[in-house]
Amino acid sequence: MTIEEVSARTKINATFLRAIERAEFDRLPGAFFARAFLKTYARELHLPPDEIVAAYDARFLPAPDGQDGGATTAALERTVSGDGVESSRQLIPATGGAWPLAILVAAVLVVVSVMNRPTSGGSNEPRTTGTTGVAAAPAAPAAPSPAPPAPEKLTIEIRPSRTIWVAGEADGLRVVYRLVEPGERVRAEARNELWFRVGDAGGFDYSINGSPGKPVGGSGEVREFRITRENVGSFHR
């Protein structure tokens, strides 16, 4: 089969397939997608997917000295922003225990300095006290506005501005796992939760429950996020 035929059958971009054939995995959007593409490609060619992925891990994700095979040389740190969007980045492992201790000592010194700082505009003169004079009573705090009720369901419509890889689930069931082209409309509904991982967050345009959605990341960034009935408001533009 030609690369174009395999691309049409697997929905994997032909550029990515050519990169796999040349072992140019740095041209793929991260190890997560590289392993997913390899599994799909292997199944299409009637090859053992697990052995193919194991060979990829052994060659391109070598284990550091003194650790079991299959572990990567960098840890993944997951950060969650205020709007519920999760991102992942690779960190170089620490080479010793001195840095964490130094950071802890510096933090303690900063806290002590702030606690001992004199208040601005203060005076050493004693303050007079008494019951004379009239002072306005402090206003009562305004009652907080009631939170809007959670919607009964979640409806998302994806309209990418460029070709992007999208993996998504609705209440734990897969609804999309492929490249989505500009001009396509992918719609999904859930009662409780929507989960997505996108290969190019800057091209992920969408609406949620009829309202335009906020950007979930920048161009070329791989992002993973969950939309629930409780946090759906944070995704509205």
Contact 208/156 with Cβ under 8 angstroms? yes
The three-state secondary structure class of 8 is helix
- DSSP 3-state percent helix, strand, coil across the chain (nearest 5): 30, 25, 45
* pTM over the 0.75 mark: no
Contact 191/228 with Cβ under 8 angstroms? no
Q: Give domain limits for the chain.
A: 3-60, 154-235
More confident residue, 160 or 90: 160
Q: What is the pLDDT of residues 145-181, one digit of tens each?
A: 666 788 889 999 999 999 999 999 999 999 999 999 9
**Which residue's structure tokens are 């170089």?**
92
Identify residue 82 by its one-letter amino acid code: G
154-235: CATH number:
2.60.40
108: CB partners within 8 A, 6+ apart: none
**Residue 186: pLDDT over 90:** yes
Phi-psi region of 218 (alpha: psi -120 to 50; beta: other; left: phi over 0): beta
